[in-house]
Amino acid sequence: MSSDLFSPLALRCGRTLGNRIAKAAMEEAMAGAGQLPDQRLLTLYRRWGAGGAGLLITGNVMVHAEALTGPGGLVLDRSTPIEPFAAWAAAGKAAGAAMWMQINHPGRQVQTGMPGVVWAPSAVPVDLGRHSKRFRPPVAMTRQQIEETVARFAVTAARAEQAGFDGVEIHAAHGYLLSQFLSPLVNRRTDAWGGSLENRARMLLEVVRAVRAAVPSGFAVAVKLNSADFQRGGFDADDARRVIAMLEPLGVDLVELSGGSYESPAMTGRPADGRTRAREAYFLDLAEQLAATSPLPLMLTGGITRRGTAAEVLAGGVALVGVGTALATTPDLPDRWRTGREADGRLRQVTWSDKTLASAAGMALVRHQLHRIARGQEPALSTRPVRALLADQRAQRRARHNYRSWLAQHAPQAAAHLALHVPDLAPPYNGPCSPV
């Protein structure tokens, strides 16, 4: 595997990424009216696209209008206007970067106070100790609801392709719905969707099949997967290895590795495994193990901020380096790396003893920078965590009010238009274009 960050990467579907640096998904929570992208996201992604990354992966775009992890989430379903998404794709691609849409369903990770449904493979609530009431308790999904959700992923992927995106990334990590089905701690079903890993992976595999069949063969399909959940008895690295092998024959182009969930937020640099806590690339040890046997190219995301670390990731057999928070503070970081420069600095570290609040404050700090860039301003590295968290909470309250009003009008229409089969919007997938 080449260790050159600026060498191209050819994908199975026939597309080629310009270099090995990807802007990883971050939850912008920046939906405009109607849960649609507006000028803020266009400005933000145009800035990132001009910063030198070969690939931009969007934050969460939800496949189910009645299931958002938070009120600022975007929705793309059968009845969504396509034009705002087309403008978003064009903005990100303007300087030559590829643009993939991350598509997702929150499952049980839905904030208290949010309207809509809270579904999970089993009725197992999020356990955050004294903060558990921050999330609504879920109900176990019926088989019909599972099948409807698989169809929703396919609809969103097909519409993303129509809008001009170059690919989609199916989110099966960080404790969201597909990750919940993979987890033996959350998935306690005794039917065909639970029990063995083959059964727990069934929903992810069905989603991948439906998405691949709904888009052209030259459209990229990726999966975001936990390298581990970092919870005792949960999804682990051996499970990840087996799931990657299951994905290989289904036409997947890339698997992005991350880790953790809201219960064990390793993705924010606070993993339960203390050996990785001080590392800049949180999941590099596990990624190197998985890369040794993976039949698919891997992307690693989690804490990468310096060119030397990015080069180390590629040297470990990983094909693509995902950069998140560092691009919230230095949008042109890939171009800086190309010329031997590094970021100007980093955000303040949140060292609060309450890990749940610390994780929330850390994410709020990142979103504060995203909102500044979206307004045409420069990031402010000196922002205090408390200030960012309070501002984020105010923004969430406003967004929740807007989402409630929109959902009251949109949800009946969404239900009426949902077809329980994969939409016939593209020819079926007939295998990878060529081996690479």
As a CATH number, domain 9-346 is: 3.20.20.70
| Confidence at residue 418, expressed as pLDDT on a 0 to 100 scale | 42
C-alpha distances (whole Å) from 243 to each of 34, 105, 193, 248, 413 are 36, 19, 15, 9, 36
Q: What is the pLDDT of residue 430?
A: 33
Instruction: Name beta bridge partners: 17.
Output: 9
Q: What is the pLDDT of residue 413?
A: 52
Within 24-127, strands assigned E span: 55-57, 61-62, 74-75, 98-104, 119-120
Q: Give the dihedral of Cα atoms 407, 409, 412, 413; nearest 10 deg.
A: -110
pLDDT at 92: 98
The DSSP H or E segment spanning 411 is helix 385-417
CA angle (348, 104, 13) in 5-degree steps? 105
d(CA 250, CA 429): 9
H/E element holding 177?
helix 177-182
pLDDT in tens, 397-424: 999 999 999 999 887 654 444 433 334 3
Distance between first and last Cα of the chain: 12
**Residue count of the chain:** 436
Q: What's the rounded Cα separation, in Å, for the pair 5 and 54?
A: 10
User: What are the tens digits of pLDDT across the range 15-49?
Assistant: 999 999 999 999 999 999 999 999 999 999 999 99
pLDDT at 279: 47
Say how far apart CA 373 and CA 192 lie, in whole Å: 46
Sign of CA dihedral 63, 66, 69, 74: positive
Residue 57 near residue 170, CB atoms below 8 Å = no
d(CA 7, CA 311): 12
Tell me if 293 sits within 8 A of 241, measured CB to CB.
Answer: yes
- Predicted confidence at residue 388, as pLDDT, reads 96
Write the DSSP symbol of residue 22.
Answer: E
Spatial distance between the Cα atoms of 347 and 354, rounded to a whole number of angstroms = 19
Q: What residue segments make up the domains of the chain, in order of their start?
A: 9-346
- CA–CA dist 350, 431 (Å, integer): 46
pLDDT less than 70: residues of the chain: 1-3, 228-233, 259-282, 412-436
Rounded Cα distance, 184 and 234, in Å: 6
Collect all residues with Cβ–Cβ distance below 8 Å to 380 and sequence separation of at least 6. 368, 369, 372
